[in-house]
């Protein structure tokens, strides 16, 4: 069992931050329906969904992953790189404090949770437009004493490190080698995205299955061939805001107090 913290799609979702995509019309009801189906997939995978409310001042609120990094020992509240997203963190800190000791990243550091890939005791931090060197230093100060190794890694061509690489399990990564240097992950088995699906490197690996966007069937096939059960979700409306499947939840695994209320 795990707890998945999610947050409703904001009424101002169409005013989200955009970096690599052109703004196109966004259908709020469709985004909400896809988010609901995503939450149902989390429940089907054995999760207790703890859904937070939103408001019009935080257009990107649904992308909770960027506000925190959750480890077994503690949760680190980020300082998001986009100023418009900094108001998202207080509610996330409140929610996570029920489950974890809290640490926080402070100015001048900026970091989005989407730039943090945890693989066993290794924590990769992507240097992107959102995440800077000062954040890497603060992550090291927090995590070194807990026995984690923090590795900084350059990311290019995409928003976050986890747009380019995510874990399928502790030994296997899904990667787009055009956006991140695969040599950095020499100790892992790598599954590459299909070249026709560059945005397909973001998968949400849970104990029972891998939640994955229906828009990338060729890469889904590769993941299945590597031995994983793929649970497809429609997420193209959320993808118009540059969000993918890891972005829409914070997974609290391992030691949790049973305080989540099911949706
Ligand atoms: C942003 O640009 O911040 C949002 N529109 C999308 C964030 C997606 N988050 C993620 O990939 N972790």
Q: Is 97 in the pocket of ligand 1 (CB under 6 A)?
A: no
Closest CA to 68 of 36, 104, 110: 104
pLDDT the model gives residue 256:
56
- Give the mean model confidence (pLDDT) for residues 225-235: 98
Q: Is 17 in the pocket of ligand 1 (CB under 6 A)?
A: yes
pLDDT band at 255 (very low <50, low <70, confident <90, very high): low
* pLDDT > 90: percent of the chain: 95
State pLDDT tens for residues 135-185. Answer: 999 999 999 999 999 999 999 999 999 999 999 999 999 999 999 999 999
Q: Does the pLDDT value for residue 261 go beyond 80?
A: no
Q: Is 247 in the pocket of ligand 1 (CB under 6 A)?
A: yes
Nearest-atom number in ligand 1 for the CA of 59 is: 5
What phi, psi does 237 have (nearest 5°)?
-70, -40
- Give the mean model confidence (pLDDT) for residues 33-48: 98
pLDDT band at 208 (very low <50, low <70, confident <90, very high): confident
- Give the mean model confidence (pLDDT) for residues 189-211: 97
CATH class, domain 2-252, is: alpha beta
Domain residue limits, the chain = 2-252
CB 130 within 8 A of CB 111: yes
Q: Does the pLDDT value for residue 69 go beyond 60?
A: yes
State pLDDT tens for residues 98-126. Answer: 999 999 999 999 999 999 999 999 999 99
Active site residues: 160, 247
CB 57 within 8 A of CB 12: yes
Residue nearest to atom 2 of ligand 1 (CA): 17
35, 128, 136, 170, 261 from 159: Cα distances, Å: 20, 7, 17, 23, 32
Q: Is 126 in the pocket of ligand 1 (CB under 6 A)?
A: no
Q: Ligand 1 centroid vs 242 CA: distance in angstroms?
A: 5
Q: How far apart are the first and last CA of the chain?
A: 15
pLDDT the model gives residue 169:
95
């Amino acid at each position: 069992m795990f707890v998945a913290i999610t947050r409703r799609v904001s009424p101002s979702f169409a005013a989200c931050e955009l970096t690599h995509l052109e703004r196109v019309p966004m259908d709020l009801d469709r985004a909400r329906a896809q988010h609901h189906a995503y939450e149902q997939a989390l429940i089907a995978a054995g999760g207790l969904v703890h859904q937070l409310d939103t408001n019009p001042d935080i257009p990107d609120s649904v992308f909770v992953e960027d506000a925190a990094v959750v480890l077994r020992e503690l949760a680190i509240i980020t300082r998001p790189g986009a100023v418009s997203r900094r108001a998202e963190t207080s509610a996330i800190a409140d929610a996570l404090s029920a489950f974890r000791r809290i640490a926080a990243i402070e100015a001048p550091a900026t970091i989005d949770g989407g730039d943090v890939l945890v693989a066993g005791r290794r924590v990769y931090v992507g240097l992107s437009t959102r995440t800077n060197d000062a954040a890497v230093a603060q992550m090291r100060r927090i995590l070194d004493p807990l026995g984690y190794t923090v590795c900084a890694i350059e990311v290019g061509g995409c928003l976050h490190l986890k747009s380019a690489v995510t874990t399928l399990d502790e030994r296997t990564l899904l990667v787009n080698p055009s956006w991140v240097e695969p040599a950095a992950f020499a100790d892992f088995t790598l599954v590459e995205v299909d070249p026709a699906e560059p945005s397909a490197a973001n998968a949400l690996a849970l104990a029972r299955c891998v939640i994955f966007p229906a828009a990338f069937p060729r890469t889904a096939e590769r993941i299945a061939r590597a031995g994983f059960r793929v649970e497809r979700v429609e997420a193209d409306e959320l993808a118009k805001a540059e969000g993918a499947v890891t972005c829409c939840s914070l997974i609290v695994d391992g030691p949790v107090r049973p305080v989540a209320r099911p949706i």
